[in-house]
Structures are given as structure tokens and as C-alpha cells.
Amino acid sequence: MIGEKTFAAMKKLADELIHMHGARMAKAFNLQTDGKLAVAITFSIQPSAKADIIEVDAVITYVMEKVKEKITANVSENQEELTLYPLRRPEEA
């Protein structure tokens, strides 16, 4: 069963993650092109192998740099391939 002690541990872990990542999150915020930084802290709560113990894991997620690149190729499966021969200069002929 989870209760106030589990919730207190979750708050403490979240505070530690924010403190540990504060400078990097500030840098990540400045790198965002849309002016927004999404930060997620998720918790995993499960019984421990030890009796009467709850294990709480906290994970922080944010993007330092968003990369979006588009390249395009135009292809026609119906077009015949042309064989190109090297051009010869008149003096080579």
C-alpha cells in the first residue's frame, strides 16, 4: 500500500531531479526554436524484494535539441534508365 511516505519520497525525488538538471534544462530552454521546453518527471512504484518496502523510481525527460531535417528524392519506376557514355574530345577520336 502506498501513502504519505511514498508521496513524500516522490516529491523529494522530483526535487532532486530538478535540482540536478536545472542548469541543463535552462540551456535546453534557450536552444528551443519554438520557445517551449517540455519537461516530464515520471514515477514507477513497485513493491521491493524486501518485505513491506515500496520502491520508487523517478525519471526526468526533456529534449536538449530538436532536430528535424527533410531530404527528398523524386523517382519514377516507369522511366527507362539512360546509359551515358563519356564525351570524347575531337583530338581523342
**Distance of alpha carbon 34 from alpha carbon 68, whole angstroms:** 13
The pTM (predicted TM-score) of the whole model is: 0.68
Integer angstrom CA distances of residue 55 from 1, 19, 28, 42, 77: 11, 21, 30, 14, 57
**SS3 call for 93:** coil
Q: Which amino acid is at 46?
A: Q
Q: Which amino acid is at 5?
A: K
How does pLDDT run along the chain (93 residues), one tens digit per residue?
889 999 999 999 999 999 999 999 999 999 888 889 999 999 999 988 888 899 999 999 999 877 777 887 777 788 777 777 777 777 765
